[in-house]
């Protein structure tokens, strides 16, 4: 409930800043919007670009320059952050079309074949590895739903994907990770008993 209230308050601050930019072409207000959202937009792009910091920051810069130019198209129906994530994802797709990403995706089922990790301390590293084994769509949906804490509806809007497809990718992605986690738990249990 508090989280919901915080989000609503944040959205109102964003709306007020957007109004200031639109009414008076207030660069300071835009700078505040930029400082409030750059961290998450850059994190989103860095994840989408598999950790390529320079490319992610270049794209993020492009995103905010586009947002400045197109701010009058922000109608306030969605949260400002959702609108920015949508622009960022579109820029990312355009960049991919210009420079195709290296193929490295693995089909469904292969997560189950991952060798179980040997030590508990490796859990995060192995989870990262398991994430990379998910399909691009599953990774992208989980990034937006879990990491960026968007609702399924917001994720569908950002990714321009039907809501049902978003839910399916989220469920499948988590099911694969759950299966992998079960293997990890089993391995950890055996280590404890031996």
The binding site for other proteins (CB under 8 A) comprises 25, 27, 30-31, 34-35, 38-40, 42-43, 46-47, 57, 60-61, 64-65, 68-69, 72, 123-124, 127-128, 131, 142, 146-147, 174, 177-178, 181
Q: How far is the CB of 181 from other proteins (least distance, A)?
A: 7
- Give the nearer residue to other proteins in terms of CB position, either 77 or 128: 128
Do 166 and 152 meet the contact criterion of CB atoms below 8 Å apart? yes
- Give the nearer residue to other proteins in terms of CB position, either 23 or 103: 23
- Give the nearer residue to other proteins in terms of CB position, either 68 or 86: 68
- Give the nearer residue to other proteins in terms of CB position, either 103 or 131: 131
Q: How far is the CB of 97 from other proteins (least distance, A)?
A: 23
- Name the region of 24 (left: φ>0; alpha: ψ -120 to 50; beta: rest): alpha
Q: How far is the CB of 100 from other proteins (least distance, A)?
A: 26
- Give the nearer residue to other proteins in terms of CB position, either 86 or 174: 174
Q: How far is the CB of 133 from other proteins (least distance, A)?
A: 14
10-33 as b/e: b if 16+ CB within 10 A? ebeebeebbebbeeeeeeebbebb
Helices (H), the chain: 2-24, 27-48, 53-70, 80-98, 123-133, 136-142, 152-159, 163-193
């Amino acid at each position: 409930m508090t989280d919901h209230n915080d989000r609503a308050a944040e959205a109102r601050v964003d709306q007020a800043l957007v109004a200031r930019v639109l009414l008076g072409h207030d660069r300071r207000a835009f700078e505040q919007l930029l400082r409030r959202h750059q961290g998450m937009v850059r994190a989103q792009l860095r994840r989408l670009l598999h950790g390529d910091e320079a490319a992610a920051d270049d794209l993020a810069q492009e995103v905010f320059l586009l947002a400045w130019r197109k701010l009058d198209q922000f109608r306030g129906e969605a949260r400002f952050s959702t609108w920015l994530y949508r622009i960022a994802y579109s820029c990312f797709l355009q960049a991919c079309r210009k420079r195709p990403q290296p193929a490295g995706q693995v089909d469904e089922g292969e997560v189950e074949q991952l060798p179980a990790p040997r030590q508990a301390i490796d859990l995060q590293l192995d989870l990262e590895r398991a994430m990379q084994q998910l399909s691009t769509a599953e990774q992208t949906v989980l990034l937006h739903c879990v990491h960026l804490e968007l609702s399924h509806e917001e994720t569908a809007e950002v990714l321009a994907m039907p809501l049902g497809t978003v839910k399916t990718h989220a469920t499948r992605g988590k099911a694969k990770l759950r299966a992998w986690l079960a293997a990890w738990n089993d391995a950890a249990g055996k280590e404890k008993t031996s």
